[in-house]
Structure 1
Amino acid sequence: MSMMSIRAATPRDREAIRLVEEHAFGQESEAGLVDALITDGDAIVELVAEEEGQVVGHILFSRLYVTEGRKKFAAVALAPLAVEPSFHGTGIGGALIREAHLRLKDAGETLSVVLGDPAYYGRFGYTHERAAGFESAYQGVALQALAWGEAPAAGRLDYASAFSSALAA
């Protein structure tokens, strides 16, 4: 039986998180994004999944704003979600998403946006229909949103500055 646990990431997890991101994506871009979001103070919820004391999964939600005219609404962006390849298909990614959603709702967040596989993220309530009204450099079927309460359905998505750097890279 698995003894997987989920907890808040700590500074001592940085190297293990970097390795999980690099292994999961096969490149350093996502690990660099995580480092930049943490350094810039834009992380809202960051969790790790551990199996027998080893970090095998990671999820990060950062601050995102929906801007419409002079109104600015705080939301979150899910990026990235990573699981060690040898643990794919074990439910770790889903467990990280569900736990993070509970923490976000408890903190009063009402809107989350993700860029990813609609078949996967749709299992957690994300839909492109909910995100279709947003203006974004990432607009397309992979851009999805999930609202837990009153949240705008239109406006410009303003991601943390680390995403601009990642997009330019």
Structure 2
Amino acid sequence: MTTLRLRPEGPADADPVRRVLAGAFARAGVPVPPEVGLVDELRDSDAWIPELAMVAEYGGEVVGYALLTRVRVDPGQFPALALGPVAVAPHRQRIGLGVSVVQAALEAATELGERLVVVLGDPAYYRRFGFDRADRMGLSSPWSGLGEPWQALVLPPTLSGEVGVPRGEVVFPPPWSRV
């Protein structure tokens, strides 16, 4: 029986993660999808949180990826997270690995006491995790004009207590401006 293992990305996973991203985001005429470079740049930035870069290993092969990195909400520089990219190798898609790796990343974020996650993606997909339109929560970003795909999720509070969620502009680290 093939087993699924969900875990934080380790140093030896960089190349397998690049292959997963390249396969999942492959587009005609684009030799290397921008998502590959985004993850490489985020790894070398202050936005990187090693515990929140999750891989899905299926049968010993890295086949899925979900990344949460630091963003801030202004005013006040409230810490939040951005989800993305999320990818599954083409030969392992449509069997629930994407859902599993995203759920693992969100659970890890909750355990770390994080409160807010934003994502730009398919509302039908991300709704299953509890995401809703970010503009309804008073959050804006360079992608706000896209409407429903700009989403946010308030994570459950940890034992340390409830902390309010801010309203304002979500500020992404520089690597995101090149995607």
Normalised TM-score (structure 2)? 0.86
Question: Which stretch shifts more, 120-129 or 145-154?
Answer: 145-154
Counterpart for residue 109 of structure 2: 104
Tell me which amino acid in the other structure corresponds to 2:141. S
Where do 5+ consecutive residues of structure 1 fail to align?
none
Contact 2:78–2:166 at 8 Å: present in 1 too? no
Contact 2:134–2:140 at 8 Å: present in 1 too? no
Deviations 1:44-96 (A, max 9, x none): 2101111121110011100010002xx11000000100001111111111111
Counterpart for residue 24 of structure 2: 24
Question: Which stretch shifts more, 18-27 or 141-150?
Answer: 141-150
SS across alignment from 1:48: strand
Question: Structure 1 segments of 4 or more deviating over 3 A?
Answer: 129-132
Tell me which amino acid in the other structure corresponds to 2:55. V
Deviations 1:89-136 (A, max 9, x none): 111111111111111011010000000000000011001156552221
Superposition RMSD in Å: 1.5
Q: Distance in 1 between matches of 2:110 and 2:169?
A: 22
Q: 1:146 aligns with which of 150, 153, 172?
A: 153
Q: Distance in 2 between matches of 1:15 and 1:123?
A: 30
Counterpart for residue 29 of structure 2: none
Q: Which has the higher strand share?
A: 1
Q: 1:82 aligns with which of 87, 93, 96?
A: 87
Q: 2:63 aligns with which of 42, 56, 61?
A: 56
Q: 1:136 aligns with which of 130, 135, 141?
A: 141
Give me the identity figure in percent. Answer: 36
Contact 1:66–1:72 at 8 Å: present in 2 too? yes
Number of residue pairs the alignment of both structures matches: 164
Where do 5+ consecutive residues of structure 2 fail to align?
27-31, 158-162
Q: 2:129 aligns with which of 124, 128, 150?
A: 124
Contact 1:66–1:152 at 8 Å: present in 2 too? no
SS across alignment from 2:54: strand
Deviations 1:3-29 (A, max 9, x none): 111111011111110010010010421
Q: Distance in 2 between matches of 1:74 and 1:19?
A: 30
Q: Distance in 2 between matches of 1:33 and 1:104?
A: 20
Tell me which amino acid in the other structure corresponds to 2:3. M
Q: Distance in 1 between matches of 2:134 and 2:117?
A: 13
Q: Distance in 1 between matches of 2:46 and 2:11?
A: 13
SS across alignment from 1:43: coil
SS across alignment from 2:36: helix
SS across alignment from 1:13: helix
